[in-house]
Structure 1
């Protein structure tokens, strides 16, 4: 089914959040995957806690704080790698199918955007690094509303800016909690379940579950 607008979460959906650690896996040692998982989990936890507290700090600050925690939690990882890991986060790899899928959706006449927790600077760097800057119509950062997903004000940025009803928007995310928030808001949601995670938030089900973004082209 073709939609007027396709909106994508950035981290985990378009960009591989574990690419930063993988790039320096040889220096980190055997606990690299553990370090990356703790880093990601804490980054998200901090976003939820700060939104609930009403104490916003941008996603880059949370990314730094989360890495500091992960490095303390995984003592086998050399803390001297902190700078390298943070630098790598600015140039995360996009998943292999991303450029072709976005180009095909764009060619079909749809509007395309990112809607992300990321700071404007982080997102601009990631988009440019993956050469997606010529394909996307907009990049929406939560920095505009100073609240993180799944706060409804985040999803509202898209419909307010584009003057669309929520049902006209197909929203894609690899994060099941993000899909739940977007479903509740009224978007048509697609869960990109890249790592075959079990379902949750069953009272807010996705409209579609796909293993990658390639399945979006079936209706184009």
Structure 2
């Protein structure tokens, strides 16, 4: 196995906790909060895949808004102020508690660290700018450059072209199984963060290193290179 020279991270659901978009609004949402969060994410992903298959790209900002509108309608919620607040929260997601320490540990190993995400450049800039680890992540690559969403191979190829490193020397980290599967098929060395302990799919058990938390990554990398 080739030595890893750089690591690309997915942003949404990997470094940043999607549930934190809904948490500030649980008082208003009550027992609908979990259903809304799950449906919002489900439709967000569905709309990206449908857009790619149809060759009708709409950026992640528009798709995120449409997905939220559907989720709110499904829950029979008509509250423009709440909708605006949820979108604002999505643009300021909280990182997972182990994200910063993980990134700093990896940077100490002289690895290049970056992001490869469905988010627009503006969304990603807003998401990362206020974080203490922002300077550790360079490059931050958006699918906007190729106008197709993951898991299309063109997205992962964009990561290769941006880094100028062969796929087999790039580590890719995602908390989304479908994304990890796409990256593994492309040829990256993949680390799937399976926080929910869900069954393996997309042949990830054989093609990826499966972790239960982001914080396990530095020690696992050390074991692979020792």
Measure the CA separation in 2 of the matches of 1:24 and 1:39: 14
- Unaligned 5+ segments in structure 2 are none
1:184 partner SS = helix
Measure the CA separation in 2 of the matches of 1:91 and 1:64: 15
Counterpart contact for 2:121–2:144, Cα < 8 Å:
yes
Aligned equivalent of 2:162: 161
Aligned equivalent of 2:108: 107
Measure the CA separation in 2 of the matches of 1:9 and 1:161: 15
1:18 partner SS = helix
Measure the CA separation in 1 of the matches of 2:39 and 2:216: 30
Deviates more, 1:70-79 or 1:205-214: 70-79
Counterpart contact for 1:50–1:56, Cα < 8 Å:
yes
Aligned equivalent of 1:15: 16
Aligned equivalent of 1:175: 176
Measure the CA separation in 2 of the matches of 1:154 and 1:122: 17
Aligned equivalent of 1:52: 53
Q: How far apart are residue 77 of structure 1 and its match?
A: 7.2
Q: How far apart are residue 110 of structure 1 and its match?
A: 0.3
After superposition, the Cα gap between the structure-2 partners of 1:173 and 1:107, relative to the gap in structure 1 and judged at 3 Å, is: same
How many residue pairs get aligned? The number is 220
Higher helix share: 2
Runs of 4+ in 1 over 3 A off after TM superposition: 76-80, 203-206
- Unaligned 5+ segments in structure 1 are none
Alignment of 1:72-91 (within 5 A): 72-75=73-76, 78=79, 80-91=81-92
Aligned equivalent of 1:213: 214
What TM-score do the two structures reach when normalised by structure 2?
Answer: 0.93
Aligned equivalent of 1:25: 26
Q: How far apart are residue 199 of structure 1 and its match?
A: 1.2
Q: How far apart are residue 204 of structure 1 and its match?
A: 7.9
1:111-143 deviation per Cα after TM superposition (whole angstroms, max 9, x unaligned): 000000011111111111323321112100000
Alpha-carbon RMSD across the aligned residues, in angstroms, is 1.6
Aligned equivalent of 1:137: 138
Measure the CA separation in 1 of the matches of 2:215 and 2:91: 25
Aligned equivalent of 1:39: 40
